[in-house]
Structure formats: structure tokens, C-alpha cells
């Protein structure tokens, strides 16, 4: 029989930073406890004899041995219901605006703030009626949450089923009963779910649709599928966060969950200030209306940082269960791993590589495995795409977090400090990066964008590869010593790099590049390439060819909203200059 742990009271025996040891407490692993007189929130992470080890999500300064510990008997859970979009939470789903109201500009301790607003009323429209049978995960009605997400689908909690005996339409708070089942169960607009347990689904589906990001190097060269996993490792200053922000802004998911895990406070502020101003390119609504932010900055308590990625992915799964495509950005998973390391160190566990706990690899794998494109319990199709930033010490990809991540994820966007130093952004190294979805998604691109999409991409990759080989020779003898054909190839490679791959995140137009434009740009470069080689055959000198007028105009077309006339004009000029009339 299960031991009842709720309400059990014990005493603090020891305090060491975020780790508190209690005695005389009845507890299961991962029970949430209230620690000390201030009622700091903590979670049971170990049981040793009569001692219970608790990681505390708040600063423990001033807490003394002998103070009481109360077990709630519940695992760490989030509240899932309307009101999450546009909100910024800390790592354990406390809304930061609510914390500010209670404790001012600095975050105080022992504050309880529910994840969902208790007062706000939502207009609920049932989609099932009295007498209908419902099971876990079924949709019983909708609430208009924001203009962008007009249908927040209200779900039956996954572990509940029965026949509807009552269902109401009207304005309700999240705590009001909106339906009653024949077993007496009352359904509300929200339910709770423990963050460490993946939400159930009917079946996993193969990922075969790309997540369109509007970023040329990502979509064309290294695409990620909806429901896929990707990692962006890179040293500091190489643009991890900017890339993550770009994904949060422009990825064609319906819902974005952005987890700022142990990163800079100002970066979250930037999102908070910028997103309400930015418009979704597809609907014209503020991007904030589809975004849930989770901010646990580097100076906020380390245990809550450990929890923040679980909070984020659980919220993402909830929207997936409504049948939405969700993209989640975790910046940075290294800080999460470090939080695990810190807690593990305090638990005096035997360390694995570089002091990280031995279970680092399995925790990372479990987390990324919660991504996927699924058929939900209600028969809809939804997906969670996970993009994790990794911050390897010294930019060295051989460290444990990067290595264990790469073993799991299917897309690797390798950031390169050298590219960043010369302000080539996004500083994604095209030779090191890969996408295992590229082949699977090729047919989608060929059906939906252009039939020669895959061919064009492979051509561009080959040119860049060849350029890398030639660079080694150029380093020794200079480019003038190369044969003409190779000098033209170098020029074409330069155009691919500087015109196509460099993309200005802060330019109002270039920040988002639609697929058709991506294709046109690359196709344009391919045409210039073909004309250049033809001109060489016709006897033009290589200097004339590689310095052909019109290139600059072609390069600037990417800054034009209506790029086609500019691009066509530039191409025509280049063609005339190379081949004559």
C-alpha cells in the first residue's frame, strides 16, 4: 500500500546551500516540501536512512536546523490551462509579474503565486454534450486565449474518463467547474501535471514536415523537422542566443516555449520588450500571443534552474496534446547540466566526467525524447520540436554535455567563433554542421517549393566543400596562382557565403527569408556560376569575370521586401556583362 506522505512534518537537520537534509519526515522521491519557517519550496531528491534530502528552489540563507519541513505529498507540477500565453514564468511556473507585485523589483523568498490567474474569466464553448463519453486527452470545448490562438482546447486530464452528465457554457475562472462526469469527477478549465513525467499520447509519427524558420542556412542547408531535435553548441559570443531568438520569432510553429535557463537577465528583458512589438509574418499578430517564456536567469536559485526545462517541456506537451505544433528553445542546456552537477555534488554522489553526475547522459536523452510528432490521445496530430543551445567550456565540443547531446539530437548547428569574429552571422559552420532530416525533408521541399531544391542545395554544399579544400592551397600560394576555373569557383563560394549564408537578424527584411526567396537567391547564384563558366569558355579573362558589375546589386536584393524586380535586374546586368547580348 502506498504510504501517505502529504501533511507529514519533519525537522531540518542540515543546510548546505540549496540542499537541505530533514529528519522525521515521511517522503517519497520527488515529493514537494515546504522548508523552514518561510515555507521555501523544495523537492525530495534522496532518501538515506531516516534522512530526507531536499533540493530547495530558493535561497536558503537564514534557515536554521530545527525548523520544520512540511511535505505536500505532491510531485512538482505545473498548472495547464488558459492564461499561459504571453506570460513570463520562473523555473517553477511562478509568474514573474506576480512576484514583482509581492516583493518588488528583486525576487523575495517563500512567495506562492499560482501559475494561472485565478480571477480572470474565460468564455468557454463546449464541443461535447451531455451523455457523451470522454476519455483522457479528449477535447471538451474551447476558450479563446489570444487573437493568435483563438482555440485553446480544453482537455480531459490524461488519467480521467467517463460520461458527461453536466456541461456548461459561459464565462468561467480556471477554478470553476465546467463539466461533471458520471463518476462525480468535476472538470475545470485547467488541470495539473507532474513535470518529470512525459504526458501520454497515442502514437509517435515519423517527422516529415520541416519547421520553417526563415533562416537560410537552417532551412536550406540543415533543416529540422517538426517534432525533431536540434542542438546549437557554440562558445560565448558566437550567437547561440540570437539564433534561438530568431527561431522563437520566426519558426512556423503555432506555439513557442522559450526557456531562458541560467542565462542573462537582459536577454529575457529583450524578449519581453521586443516580442509584443514583433508581428507574426503569417498572421500579423504580436508574437507574444503565441509565446510562453520561462526565465530562470543565472543568478536565480540553481535548483529551480534544474526544474525549468521540465516545466517548459511539460507546457509544450500540453499544447501539443491540443493538436498544435510547438517549438521549444532551451537556452542553455549546459546551465541545466551544471545545475544537476551542483546538486549532485552537494548530494556527494560519485561524479562522472568533469564532475557531472553519471546520469547526465540519461537525463539529456530523456529530455530530448519528449520531443516528437505524435497522434494525440484525441486523435489530432501535434508536435514538439526541441532546440537546445549548448555552451561548451572554451568552445570545446569534446566536453560531456555537447557529446552526450550530439548522441541524441538529429540536427547539429555548430557555431564557430572564427566566423563570429569576422561578423559572419549566423556563425554556423557549414562544414561541421549536419541535419539527419535533410534527406527525409527533401521531398517536402521539392513538392512545396521547387523540384530542383535538393539538387541546388547539394550543389551549393559541394562548392563550399571544394572551397575549403582550395583554401588550404590559397594559404600557401595565394589565389592568383590558381587555375582560372578554380578562381571562379572561389568567387562563387564567396557569393554563397556572403550573399546567401550571411543573414542579418537585425535587418527588418532580411531577418525573415521566405522559402521562395531562399530558393531564388540560391538559384540566382547558380545561374551566375553557369554564366561565369560560359564566359570563361568564350574567352573572357578571369579578372573580368569575377569582377563582373552587377554583383553588388544582386547582393543587396536580400534587403528588399519586394526583391524580385531588383534581383532580376541585377541578374540581367550580370548576364549581359558576362555573355553579351
Nearer to other proteins, 138 or 338 (CB): 338
Applying the rule CB under 8 A, the residues between 445 and 464 that interact with other proteins are: none
Q: How many residues does the chain have?
A: 581
* Interaction pattern, residues 483-522, with other proteins; x per rule: CB under 8 A: ---------------x-------x----------------
Does residue 185 sit in helix, strand or coil?
coil
Based on the shown chain and the rule CB under 8 A, indicate whether residue 398 belongs to the binding site for other proteins. Answer: no
Contact of 21 with 54, CB cutoff 8 Å = yes
- What are the φ/ψ torsions at residue 261 (nearest 5 degrees)? -105, 100
CA distances 354 to 395, 397, 399, 413, Å, are 15, 14, 8, 24
CA distance 410 to 438: 10
Using CB atoms within 10 Å of the CB of residue 144, give its burial: 0 to 12 exposed, 13 to 18 middle, 19+ buried: middle
Nearest distance in Å: CB 264, other proteins: 7
Q: Can you tell me which of 126, 227, 260, 382 binds other proteins, judged by CB under 8 A? A: 260
CA distance 301 to 284: 37
Nearest distance in Å: CB 350, other proteins: 9
Q: Can you tell me which of 210, 262, 372, 550 binds other proteins, judged by CB under 8 A? A: 262
- What are the φ/ψ torsions at residue 47 (nearest 5 degrees)? -130, 120
- What are the φ/ψ torsions at residue 525 (nearest 5 degrees)? -65, -40
Q: Can you tell me which of 6, 123, 150, 421 binds other proteins, judged by CB under 8 A? A: 421
Nearer to other proteins, 168 or 504 (CB): 504
Using the rule CB under 8 A, give the single segment among 137-145, 268-276, 365-373, 561-569 that binds other proteins.
Answer: 268-276
CA distance 460 to 526: 8
Based on the shown chain and the rule CB under 8 A, indicate whether residue 7 belongs to the binding site for other proteins. Answer: no
Nearest distance in Å: CB 295, other proteins: 5
CA distance 509 to 560: 7
Which three cell numbers mark 521?
Answer: 537567391
CA distances 342 to 76, 336, 360, 487, Å, are 20, 10, 12, 53
Applying the rule CB under 8 A, the residues between 224 and 243 that interact with other proteins are: 235-237
* Interaction pattern, residues 314-353, with other proteins; x per rule: CB under 8 A: ---------------------x--xx-xx--x-----x--
Based on the shown chain and the rule CB under 8 A, indicate whether residue 96 belongs to the binding site for other proteins. Answer: yes
Nearer to other proteins, 212 or 420 (CB): 420
Applying the rule CB under 8 A, the residues between 28 and 67 that interact with other proteins are: 59-67
Q: Can you tell me which of 4, 48, 100, 564 binds other proteins, judged by CB under 8 A? A: 100
Contact of 229 with 441, CB cutoff 8 Å = no
Nearer to other proteins, 339 or 361 (CB): 339
Q: What is the dihedral of CA 217, 219, 222, 228, to 10 degrees?
A: 140
Which three cell numbers mark 574?
Answer: 550580370
Q: Can you tell me which of 108, 276, 379, 565 binds other proteins, judged by CB under 8 A? A: 108
* Interaction pattern, residues 271-310, with other proteins; x per rule: CB under 8 A: -xx---------------------x-xxxx-x--------
Applying the rule CB under 8 A, the residues between 533 and 572 that interact with other proteins are: 552, 555
Amino acid at each position: 500500500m502506498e504510504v501517505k506522505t502529504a501533511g507529514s512534518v519533519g525537522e531540518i537537520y542540515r543546510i548546505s546551500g540549496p540542499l537541505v537534509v530533514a529528519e522525521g519526515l515521511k517522503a517519497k522521491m520527488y515529493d514537494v516540501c515546504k522548508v523552514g519557517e518561510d515555507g521555501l519550496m523544495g523537492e525530495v531528491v534522496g532518501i538515506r536512512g531516516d534522512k530526507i534530502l531536499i533540493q530547495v528552489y530558493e535561497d536558503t540563507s537564514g534557515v536554521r536546523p530545527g525548523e520544520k519541513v512540511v511535505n505536500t505529498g505532491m510531485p512538482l507540477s505545473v498548472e495547464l490551462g488558459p492564461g499561459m500565453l504571453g506570460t513570463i514564468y520562473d523555473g517553477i511556473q511562478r509568474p514573474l509579474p506576480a512576484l514583482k507585485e509581492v516583493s518588488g523589483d528583486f525576487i523575495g523568498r517563500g512567495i506562492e503565486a499560482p501559475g494561472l490567474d485565478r480571477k480572470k474569466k474565460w468564455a468557454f464553448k463546449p464541443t461535447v454534450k451531455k451523455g457523451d463519453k470522454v476519455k483522457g486527452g479528449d477535447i471538451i470545448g474551447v476558450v479563446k486565449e489570444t487573437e493568435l490562438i483563438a482555440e485553446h482546447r480544453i482537455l480531459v486530464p490524461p488519467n480521467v474518463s467517463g460520461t458527461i452528465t453536466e456541461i456548461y457554457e459561459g464565462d468561467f475562472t480556471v477554478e470553476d467547474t465546467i463539466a461533471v462526469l458520471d463518476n462525480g469527477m468535476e472538470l475545470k478549465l485547467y488541470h495539473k501535471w507532474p513535470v518529470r513525467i512525459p504526458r501520454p499520447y497515442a502514437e509517435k509519427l515519423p517527422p516529415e514536415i520541416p519547421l520553417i524558420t526563415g533562416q537560410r542556412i537552417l532551412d536550406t542547408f540543415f533543416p529540422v523537422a517538426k517534432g525533431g531535435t536540434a542542438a546549437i553548441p557554440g562558445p560565448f559570443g558566437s550567437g547561440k542566443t540570437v539564433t534561438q531568438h530568431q527561431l522563437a520569432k520566426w519558426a512556423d510553429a503555432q506555439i513557442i516555449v522559450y526557456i531562458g535557463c541560467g542565462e542573462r537577465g537582459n536577454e529575457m528583458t529583450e524578449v519581453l520588450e521586443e516580442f509584443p512589438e514583433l508581428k507574426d509574418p503569417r498572421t500579423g499578430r504580436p508574437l507574444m500571443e503565441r509565446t510562453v517564456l520561462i526565465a530562470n536567469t543565472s543568478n536565480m536559485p540553481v535548483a529551480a534552474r534544474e526544474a525549468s526545462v521540465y516545466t517548459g517541456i511539460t507546457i509544450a506537451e500540453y499544447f501539443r496534446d491540443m493538436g498544435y505544433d510547438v517549438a521549444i528553445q532551451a537556452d542553455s542546456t549546459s546551465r541545466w547540466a551544471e545545475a544537476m552537477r551542483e546538486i549532485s555534488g552537494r548530494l556527494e554522489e560519485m561524479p562522472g566526467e568533469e564532475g557531472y553526475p553519471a546520469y547526465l547522459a540519461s537525463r539529456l536523452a530523456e529530455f530530448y525524447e519528449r520531443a516528437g510528432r505524435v497522434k494525440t490521445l484525441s486523435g489530432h496530430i501535434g508536435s514538439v520540436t526541441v532546440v537546445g543551445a549548448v555552451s561548451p567550456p572554451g568552445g570545446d565540443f569534446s566536453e560531456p554535455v555537447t557529446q552526450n547531446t550530439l548522441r541524441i539530437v538529429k540536427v547539429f548547428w555548430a557555431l564557430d567563433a572564427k566566423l563570429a569574429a569576422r561578423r559572419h552571422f549566423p556563425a554556423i559552420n557549414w562544414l561541421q554542421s549536419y541535419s539527419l532530416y535533410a534527406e527525409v525533408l527533401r521531398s517536402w521541399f521539392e513538392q512545396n517549393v521547387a523540384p530542383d531544391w535538393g539538387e541546388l542545395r547539394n550543389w551549393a554544399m559541394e562548392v563550399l566543400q571544394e572551397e575549403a579544400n582550395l583554401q588550404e592551397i590559397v594559404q600557401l600560394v595565394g589565389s592568383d596562382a590558381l587555375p582560372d576555373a578554380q578562381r571562379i569557383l572561389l568567387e562563387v563560394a564567396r557569393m554563397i557565403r556572403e550573399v546567401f549564408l550571411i543573414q542579418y537578424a537585425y535587418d527588418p527584411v532580411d531577418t525573415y527569408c521566405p522559402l521562395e526567396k531562399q530558393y531564388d537567391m540560391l538559384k540566382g547564384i547558380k545561374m551566375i556560376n553557369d554564366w561565369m563558366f560560359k564566359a570563361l569558355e568564350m574567352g573572357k579573362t578571369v579578372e573580368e569575370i569575377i569582377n563582373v558589375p552587377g554583383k553588388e546589386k544582386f547582393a543587396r536584393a536580400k534587403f528588399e521586401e519586394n526583391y524580385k524586380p531588383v534581383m532580376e535586374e541585377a541578374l540581367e546586368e550580370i548576364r549581359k556583362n558576362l555573355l553579351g547580348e
